[in-house]
Structure 1
Amino acid sequence: MKRLFKEKLILLGIFLIFYILIEMMMFTWLKLGFFPKFWLVDLLVMTVFASLSLIFKKHKTSIFYLSFFIFIAGLLALVNNTMNYELNGEIFSVMHLLYADEAANVFVADFLHWDSIVAILAVFLLYGITLAYVSKLFFKPYLRSPFYLIKTFPILVVSLIVLLFTLNVVLPSYREYNDATNVSLFKRSSIKKYGMMGFYVKEIDSLLFSANDDIDINDLKEQLVLEDPNDFDESDLEIPYAGLLEGMNVITIMIESGQSFAVNPVLTPNLYKMTTEGLFFPNHHAENKTVVSETIGILGHYPNDGIMTKFFDYDFSYSMPNVLNRQGYRTVYFHENLSSFYSRTELTPALGFEEGYYHEDFFPDEKIYGWGGDYTLDSRTMERMLDYMFTEDDGEPFYYYWTTLVAHGPYNRNYPSVRGKNNLQKFTELGYFDQIDQAEANGDWVNIMDDSVDPEDPGRMRYYQAAMMDFDVALGILLDALEAEGILDDTLIVLYGDHNLFYHQMHLRINDVQMGEVHYPYIYKTFFSIYNPKLTQAYLANNPEEDTQVDKFISTYDLLPTYYHLLGIPYYINFTLGESIFTDIESIFYSHKITAFLNSDFFTYSENEIYYPENIDLNHNKEANKFLISVDRLAERILWIETWMDATVTRKE
């Protein structure tokens, strides 16, 4: 039995060596160094799982068990490499498994990094060769060992219990790991600290065994803080903002991949109107998956654990639709996709929308588009949306939320379409490219990717510009309809982008940053404008030396506090992570995608380090320390929301 046990320890040692090798590769790809900060914690966690291979009598069974973990480690390394580079800094979370179908739909072959795939396959091959060589050279023929499991299992269990208890007493890093409650708040930082397996085991543990299960909801309710915008000190303003647009209609449009450089007075006149006759915020930051940016614009935040409306009921009484429902508004959600995508069939009613309209409603006789580039044009979708926007029961104010589609990407691709023409062909026939050529010839448009090192980029930018031109047509249809109904001046319209132009890694070349460099705040700027003639007049009256461009740092989290400020509606600040853009307070943006905090000046993955600018001396930089203090406060609010979610969620029957 001793010889058999020693041979299995050799197998365990080989496994740990190759696990460390894979982890080093992943750390290098993610630019995290070579080893976790608490490398002993990571090694311990992996050893605990791998040590179960010792209880199997047959080496083949032990090898199969260990090889499974090697495969999982290699897969995690590849997935993280892909998400980090192709999705702009995102780190894989077990919560992403909820959206596996959606991810498969939007995945394109361009996302594959063959160099890393070959590297991982080489490690797998070397692992197999090493096992075969060691087994043949050092392992003796099968030795009969009766009651091996019965003898081995108790020894293993006792040894692990003693080891874990001892380490908990003598190793501060392991105690810190044991006490960690929400590693998902700082995924990149947590992986750097605890390692690959240390992070994922802790994340699963946090999801399955929430530390907030025993929280008394009544205690949380006592902590709610109701903010009344009418109490804001606006005495120095010529025209106060609080309640300025009380009772007006509200339309929110989230522009897929919407960025400001696509706004052009000739090619996108309606968007240009929003920036000159409305207020334009070029310093708006957003960097999340579409459904996350969408939910933030509706709910005021997004839970780190995700929203699983298929299985749970949530208390979203504080959401924008629910707040406006109580104010007598009609609340409607629009999106040209299947209602099942991102579980919107359950999600949008849970968020409070009384009505929702999707592909099945707009185009019931058409197949759904493919994600290669034959999306339904936004201009065509808007024509169908009008049928649901203006009805005979228009006496009540309305709140409409529309998530656009056509600028999604990939760009400049001539993919075949089972529905007929792809968008490259549609844009050509609609004359969008001719208009771009004419504007470029007249000096009215410049292709910002003309000098790109990637020869396909100029064509991609033309495609993206054409897509935004089609959205502009849709926006024009909407504005004309509001004008025809006589309610344009009584409507508040906000347009914002959900994330930057990440397809084909175009954001890297646009911003002149290298692959994997995600710590520059300016690469997360997306479009944001807010339009209402009365509001613009008030802003210019209050700021006579300014124009309609407002350079203040804002983020998607600021949207709801701004709405409540302008509509004069009290709200619980516990559930909002931003500030009204019409106050002097600047917010901090938290990205669920890269799990980082940032403003115009600083960027961090944690609560005690600054990653941008580099080499900040925290002992002498007051502004950087103020930023970290604000980060700490915002992190506390995020964790409070997680506590509320855990305390109020109920499983569906």
Structure 2
Amino acid sequence: MATHPKKLEKKQEGKALGLTFWQCFARNRLYSTSVSGIKPYLYIIPFFLAYFVLDLSLRFTYRGAGIVGVKFLPASLFTLGWALVFAGLVFFLPKIPRWFVRCVPLVTFVVIAITHSGFMSAFRRFFSFSVLTYGGTGEFMDASYIQIDWKVIVGAAIAVLLMMTSGRLLKVIPPKPVKASVLAGVAACLVGVGVIAFTHFHYFPVADTVIWETSQEDNRSKAYHELSDSTNALMVSGLYQYTVRDLVRQVFPANTMSNEERQQVDQYVAEYEAAQTDNEYTGLLAGKNVILVQLEAIDTWMLQEAYMPNLSKLKAESISFTNHYTPAYITAGTFNTEFMTNTGLLPATGGIATSVYGNNSFPYSLANLFGQQGYTARSFHNSRGNIYDRGTIHPNLGYEKYYGYEDLAMENYQMDRYLINGFDQMTEGNPFFSFVITLSGHGPYGEDNPSYQAHAEAAQAAAQRTDGNYVYAVAGAMETDQFIGELVDSLTQANLLEDTVLIFYADHYNYYMMDDALNMDIKGVDNMNMLQHTDFFIWSADLEATQVDKVTSSVDVLPTIANLFELDTSGAFLVGHDGLGDQGGYVFFSDGSWYDGETYWSSQGGGTGDPDRSAEITKLTTLSNWVLAGDYYRSQE
């Protein structure tokens, strides 16, 4: 078969110029002789598509996780704008910088997209750069928690292939940009910046005045501006806009408080104090010793007599808050709740430096409130002080010392039974306040876990099932319960039990099960927010067993304790309320959803819900962020 003379001439010319197959393909198939000014730049098509594919694959994979779906227009517009900016830079840069801009950003975003998928599997939310500032958090992370969704992997692979295709075509471009390409590049960048700016101001306008009333559009704007929920923030703004804003806000966090913001906080504090009234529980436990125990990953279904007989007995004799929730605001689930219960504030979300925990003034923390009443205040946990930087943060919260596993001479830090080694330090002082954080309910689970090895037979018999993580979780609960039993025995032997109040709450639901569908089935709920139902109860020898059905959450723990012990919170900014009083009575979650015991309103489901409640939630979250960002108490001093 004869070869067409013109095709033969083109092939021979390509070989003579040293062009590869791909370059010859570009010359013979992609170039158009009728638009000669554009023909060297068709590489931009796969380059442009690569960014779209990566972003859409991530948002499509988790389209049901946020308050908007994958079709949300502003997110796509942000992606369009950033793709234009990157494309424009490649147009007018010389060879070496052009290669850098072409390769490095996309590879970086591929890694970030995969990281988001891993974080979603482990923490049920997307990654934020803020987690990098938590000291030592990675020590308890295990590869078994991480599961990358195949759709994200496919999207990332397609994006990389598109970029490789773009690179093949790019090699036929002259190493130095020409006038036309410079002009095209500048134009693309300007259009891209314009699209980003238009989307930012048109779809997410910044209010000139403080307005607390919210609608569904306001919830989207709140998620975008505050970055308080990484999942919603990414879904409303796309991968690239979210990443850039998240990084910028971590590098340049808000650290000031305007006069208007201070006046808003002052007004809230004054109104809060004016609304407080005594009740039958006010001062009922004043002067008694206190041991506050944060139960790591001890879910409601785990706290039963068959698994935890010691703790179940105490709960049955306690004031038990049956509708208690631990909403998660940051990926550091344990520290999330630890901070809320100790301060009555919400954790620092996007745009606030996490150094606030170790540097800010917290005169109304539990440790400081008890310290003002003459209590000793100490904290105890199985890990070293670099985990969540507790060695710095706990003293800043008013604890005299943080005792880690080395201080406690624990034979195995994963086994809670050895926390009893610190009993003398826990009970030193008259009166004393000790904060204890358990660990054995924590993952990773498996046959090599020391708690499972110690309780395997009993856990299998009690659980009456053999599926791995469920039995591993039961074994961890049994190990924690063993410490509780030894603690009660030691208090009894030291003649301290009658004069010591034991307070228990869980730091989060047991997500180490790695099966939220099973968790929801066990707990009889149908969404991730309601899954955060946990235990909170207060035991004292002279308290009658009482069930309180009022809805409470982590931020209500401090006000409840303060009322029982008649601690002075005058001047404190508190997000929550006394669980035994007549105020509050609802929990709100990081996505703006709320539950009051009768109604669950989802910010993802549409509708306005109760506008007054939504307005109050918006106000509380905003003011709490201002208190942290502006170091409210220190500036008062």
TM score, norm. by length of structure 2: 0.79
Instruction: Pick the aligned partner of 1:630 from 611, 616, 620.
Output: 616
Write the letter of the residue equivalent to 1:30. Answer: Y
State the 1:298 CA deviation: 1.0
Matches within 5 A, 1:307-386: 308-309=354-355, 313-363=359-409, 375-382=413-420, 384-386=421-423
Do the aligned partners of 2:82 and 2:192 also contact (CA within 8 Å) in 1? Answer: no
Partner of 2:295: 255
Paired residues, what number?
575
Q: Say if 2:79 and 2:240, in contact at 8 Å, map to a contact too.
A: yes
Name the residue aligned to 2:439: 405
- Supply the distance in 1 between the matched residues of 2:518 and 2:634 (Cα, whole angstroms): 45
- Once residues 274 and 198 of structure 2 are traced to their aligned partners in structure 1, the CA distance between those partners, rounded to angstroms, is 54
Q: Would you say the 8 A contact 1:521–1:603 is kept in 2?
A: no
2:531 aligns to what? Answer: 523
Q: Could you tell me which residue of structure 1 aligns to residue 202 of structure 2?
A: 173
CA RMSD of superposed structures (Å): 3.9
Report what 1:246 is aligned to. Answer: 286
Q: 1:558 pairs with 556, 559, 572, which one? A: 556
In the alignment, structure 1 residue 639 sits paired with structure 2 residue 637: no
Per-residue Cα deviation, 1:45-77 (whole angstroms, up to 9, x for no partner): 45335533334211x642442222222222222
Within-5 A mapping of 1:553-632:
553-571=551-569, 575-591=573-589, 597-600=594-597, 610-611=603-604, 614=605, 617-618=607-608, 624-632=610-618
The answer to whether the Cα contact below 8 Å between 1:335 and 1:358 also exists between their aligned partners in 2 is yes
Shift of 1:254: 0.6
1:185 and 1:595 in contact (8 A); partners too: no
Q: Bigger radius of gyration, 1 or 2? A: 2
Indicate if the aligned counterparts of 1:521 and 1:600 stay in contact, CA closer than 8 A.
no
Give the CA deviation at 1:480. Answer: 2.1
CA distance in 2, matches of 1:486, 1:8: 87
1:269 aligns with 2:309: yes
Q: 5+ unaligned residues in a row in structure 2: which ranges? A: 1-34, 209-220
Q: SS at 2:534's partner residue?
A: coil
User: Contact (CA 8 Å) 2:289, 2:499: kept in 1 or not?
Assistant: yes
C-alpha separation in 2, matches of 1:647 and 1:389: 29
Alpha-carbon offset, residue 580 of structure 1: 0.9
Q: Distance in 2 between matches of 1:485 and 1:173?
A: 67
Q: Which runs of 5+ in 1 are unaligned?
A: 370-374, 416-421, 441-445, 451-455, 538-546
Query: Which residue in the other structure is 1:43 paired with?
Result: 80
Deviation readout 1:109-143 (Å, 9 max, x if unpaired): 3523362464145224422442245346xx35x36
1:490 aligned residue: 499
Measured against aligned partners, the alpha-carbon deviations of 1:333-386 in whole angstroms (never above 9, x if no partner) come to 10111111121121111111111111221128x6xx6xxxxx53111222x111
Which amino acid in 2 is paired with 1:610?
S
Change over 3 Å in CA distance of 1:572–1:646 after alignment to 2: closer
Rounded to whole Å, the distance in 2 between the matches of 1:276 and 1:575 is 33
Q: 1:78 to 1:7 in 2, by over 3 A?
A: farther
Give 1:587 deviation, angstroms: 4.2
Task: State the 1:157 CA deviation.
Answer: 6.5
* Whole-angstrom CA distance in 2 between matches of 1:101 and 1:582: 37
Q: Distance in 2 between matches of 1:647 and 1:152?
A: 56
1:74 paired to 2:110: yes
Deviations 1:468-488 (A, max 9, x none): 122112112212222233332
Counterpart of 2:508 (choices 483, 491, 499) is: 499
Asked if the contact 2:520/2:527 (under 8 Å) is kept, the reply is no
The code of the aligned residue for 1:567 comes to F
The CA distance in 1 between the partners of 2:73 and 2:161, in whole Å, is 27
Give CA deviations for 1:614-652 in whole Å, capped at 9, x if unaligned.
4x654xxxx644442332233333333244338959xxx
| Post-superposition offset of 1:598 | 4.8
Deviation by residue 1:11-69 (Cα, 9 ceiling, x = unmatched): 454333111111111112212532443132342245335533334211x6424422222
User: How far off its partner does 1:426 sit?
Assistant: 2.3
Q: Are 2:245 and 1:202 equivalent residues in the alignment?
A: yes
In the alignment, the residues of structure 1 paired with residue 253 and residue 143 of structure 2 have an alpha-carbon distance, to the nearest angstrom, of 36
Q: For 1:31, what is the secondary structure of its paired residue? A: coil
The residue type equivalent to 2:343 in the other structure is: L
